[in-house]
Amino acid sequence: MIARRQYLAVGTVTAAVSLTACQPADSGSPAEADSEAGTEAATANIVEVVARDYAFDAPDEIPSGWTTFRLKNEGKEHHFLLLQHLPEGTTLEAYIEEIGQPFDSVWHELQGGQDKAEAGALLGQLLPEWWASVRQMGGPGFVAPGGVAETSVKLEPGTYVMECYVKTADGKFHGMLGMTRELTVTEEPSGASPPEADLEIALSNYEFAIEGDVRAGQQTVAVHFQEHPEFTLGNDVHVVRLENDTDLDVVIAWMDWMNLEGLREPAPAAFIGGTHEMPVGHTSYFTVDLAPGRYAWIAESSADKGMVREFAIE
């Protein structure tokens, strides 16, 4: 490890990427960095996305490689941005009809009283074979109205779907109301590097292995995907701010879309970012700003299996 100056430089901007904004250089702050790359500059390719009730304002096309999604929630409900890499030859329309629709149908059965095991079996029957080839590639986690969630991932060229499936108060998936949008990742390289991490979290079944001290202020967290459950959503991590009287068990129950109250507005607490799942072996980075208070790291699908850890910032 050597000490050196780190320069966070500007994003790649092309005419086709109208919402990809140049960020001012945050130069001059000394940082400890790994000398491995042997370069003197770390660059970020920042893609600005605005979440509304219920749509994403986003570019249609971005370069491949390291990409930082900055999701600004301008809605009145929680949102997130899950990136899904579609298998070649499939389209957004097919995704909505053949994958979104089955989840919606099963959700209607759950509301009608079906138990989770039966609902899970029904979902298995309804989903097409190509669902197994859709790769979840991370993306900004849950973020409350007015908040900004920033998450960096490395993307291969291809066709992606950006999706949010938080539910409205009357139980409709945001994804079925417009928050399912296509994104093309081109062959052109972004030239960006991954950010420097202040903290590392390794995700396995069913544990957060945290390395480093959690400090106040802006923290960049590296998340290493080491293991996923076999028959459900993958492991991921989100950060939720808890009030003194927030019941963590209520938040845990909220994380499971199969629960009647699950992922349904209003959320029981305010989320401030995180990352969705990626395939084993990948690393995602997210940035959160931690003011003094009570928080928890929490997974979406495995919170009730122990993937939750409370922490405090003094």
By the criterion CB under 5 A, which residues form the site for Cu ion? 79, 164, 166, 174, 179
Q: Which is nearer to Cu ion, 78 or 228 (CB)?
A: 78
CB of 179 to Cu ion, least distance (A): 5
Q: How far is the CB of 166 from Cu ion (least distance, A)?
A: 4
Looking at the Cβ atoms of 74 and 211, the one nearer to Cu ion is 74
Nearest approach in angstroms of CB 164 to Cu ion is 3
Cβ proximity to Cu ion, 79 vs 241, nearer residue: 79
H, E, C per residue of the chain: CEEEECCEECCCCCCCCCCCCCCCCCCCCEEEECCCCCCCCEECCEEEEEEECCEEECCCEEEEEEEEEEEEECCCCCECCEEEECCCCCCHHHHHHHHHHHHHHHHHHHHCCCCHHHHHHHHHHHCCHHHHHCEECCCECCECCCCEEEEEEEECCEEEEEECCCECCCCCEHHHHCCEEEEEEEEEECCCCCCCCCEEEEEECCEEEEECCCCCEEEEEEEEECCCCCCCCCCCEEEEEECCCCCHHHHHHHCCCCCCCCCECCCCCEEEEEECCCCCCCEEEEEEEECCEEEEEECCCCHHHCCEEEEEEC
Nearer to Cu ion, 172 or 294 (CB): 172
Beta carbon nearer to Cu ion, 79 or 264: 79
Q: How far is the CB of 80 from Cu ion (least distance, A)?
A: 7
Residue with Cβ nearer Cu ion (94 or 177)? 177
CA distance 296 to 274: 11
In the complex with Cu ion, which residue's Cβ is closer, 101 or 114? 101
* CA-wise closest residue to 217 among 296, 293, 286, 290: 290
- Minimum distance from residue 49 beta carbon to Cu ion (Å): 12
To the nearest whole angstrom, how small is the minimum distance from the Cβ of residue 255 to Cu ion? 15
CB of residue 65 to Cu ion, shortest distance in Å = 27
